[in-house]
Amino acid sequence: ISSLPKRTANKSYLQEKLFSYTGGPFYAIVDTTGSPVGKPKAGYDPDVQGFLQFLENGLKEFKAIGTDK
């Protein structure tokens, strides 16, 4: 991620560079350095509980790695 601009308004650029995916919708959790945390979620899914589980898992993994990177 060090090759990415410090501030990028173009989210699809980050999506393509980090995950090699350009479709939407696309959800990913990243740590304070911009590194991916857990598995991203791609595509439309009307399952609210499934999305909440994705967020909870991401938060759990984020806390496990710490924020002092």
pLDDT in tens, 36-58: 888 888 888 899 999 999 999 99
Mean pLDDT calculated for residue range 4-31: 73
pLDDT range class, residue 33, cuts 50, 70, 90? confident
Predicted TM-score (pTM) of the model is 0.66
Alpha carbons within 13 angstroms on the beta-carbon side of residue 29 total 17
Contact 25, 45 (CB under 8 A): no
pLDDT range class, residue 7, cuts 50, 70, 90? low
Contact 41, 26 (CB under 8 A): yes
User: What pLDDT score was predicted for residue 48?
Assistant: 93
What are the residues facing 26 on neighbouring strands?
A: 42
